[in-house]
Chain A
Amino acid sequence: MVEPLRWQIGTVIAIRRQTDRVSSFVITLPDWRPHRPGQHYDVRLTAQDGYQAQRSYSIASATDRAGEVELGIERIPDGEVSPYFHDVLVEGDQVEVRGPIGGYFVWEPGMGGPLLLVGGGSGVVPLMSMLRARHAAGDGTPAVLLYSSRTIGDVIYREELERLAATPAGPSVLHTLTREQPPGWDGYARRVDADMLREAAARIGGLDAGPLAYLCGPTLLVESAAAALTDLGMLPARLRTERFGPSS
C-alpha cells in the first residue's frame, strides 16, 4: 500500500528566471516521490492569521532527478501565491507542498503516440516535462510541440527547445507569436487555429495516424484547440486537456 499524499515542507534550492514573468523553482523534498511527466504539485501558503491560499503548479523536470522537483511558475500580478514566489522567496526558503499529483494529464515513454503537444504561455511547462522525459529515455515516439506565446521574450525554454529539436529523433517545435513578432520572424503570427493544428499534426504523420494530444494553457486556447481537433476528426478519448483557470 502506497502511503497517502501528505503536505510536506520543501526547501527552495534554486530559482531560475526563464522569462520576465516565468521562473523555475527547484525544491528539495524530504519525502520525494518519482513523478510522471505532466503531473503537478499543490503549493500552500499560510498567513500568520491562519488564512491559507493554495495553487497547483506543473512539474517541468524530467523524472530522473531524485530528491528534487522543478516547478514552473508564472507571476500573475494580482495573484495570491505566485507573486510571493517571484517577489519574496529566495533560495534556502521553505515552502509547503503536496505531490506529485494527477494521473490523467500524463504522458511517459511507452505510452505511445504520435504525440501532438499544444501549449499556450506557461502551459508549456508540463509538456516540457514530457519532452525532457522522452529525450532522457531515448524514446523515438514522433512528437510535435505547437507553442503559442505573446512575444518572443515570453517563450519559455526557448534555447532548450531548439537543442531538443536539433537532436536525432528530436521533436518538431512550431512557435506562434500572437501579439508581436521580431523582424524576420518565420513562425506563425496568429492564435492557434485548425490550419495550424493540421500542419503541426502533419509533422508526425497527420491526424490519420491517430495521435495522442495534450493541450495545456489558458482556457480559451485549450477549448478552441480541442474543438478544432475534434472537428478535424480526432477522437475525444485521444485528447487530454489541462486548462489554466483563475491561476493566481
Chain B
Amino acid sequence: MQEPLVLDANAVAGELAEMMGVDITAYLARCAHCGNRDAIGSLRAWIHGPGVVLRCVICSEIVIRWVQTPNGPRVDLRGAAFLQPR
C-alpha cells in the first residue's frame, strides 16, 4: 500500500511540546519565504526523515525543522519570520 508521507504538524504536537515546554501548534507562524501566516498546526509535516520538517502550505518551503541529537534536540526556525503566541 502506498502510504503518504505528509501529515499536518498537529501530528507532531507532542514532540514539539516536549522540546519547547509548551504546545505551540496554535501559535501563528509567518513563513519567511512567502509571508503566509497560519497556525503552526496547519503546516505540512514530513516525519520520516532523520528529523522532522514542517513546510508552508502555500509555498512548500521549510518553516521549522528539528532533529534529535544525543545532546538533545536542535530546532531550526530560520524559515519563520516570526511566531505569534496566542
Residues of chain A touching chain B, judged by Cβ–Cβ distance below 8 Å, are 2, 4-5, 40, 42, 56, 78, 98-99, 101-106, 219-220, 236-237, 240-246
Contacts and interface: CB of A to CB of B under 8 A. Distances in A.
A240 to B, nearest CB: 7
A246 B5 contact: yes
B41 A103 contact: yes
Contacts of B17: 4-5, 101
Nearest to A56: B11
Given A103-B41, A104-B13, A5 B8 contact: no
Given A102-B41, A241-B8, A246 B18 contact: no
Q: Is the interface of B mostly helix, strand, loop or mixed?
A: mixed
Contacts of B5: 245-246
A245 B3 contact: yes
Contact of A101 (B1, B14, B40): B14
A171 B22 CA distance: 33
B14 A103 contact: no
Contacts, number: 76
Interface residues of B, number: 27
B34 interface: no
Given A40-B13, A103-B13, 17 more contacts: A4-B17, A40-B10, A56-B14, A78-B1, A98-B14, A101-B13, A101-B14, A103-B23, A104-B25, A104-B42, A105-B41, A219-B6, A220-B4, A240-B41, A241-B42, A245-B5, A245-B47
A245 B11 contact: yes
Given A102-B10, A103-B13, A245 B4 contact: yes
A246 B3 contact: yes
A242 B10 contact: yes
B38 interface: yes
Nearest to A106: B26
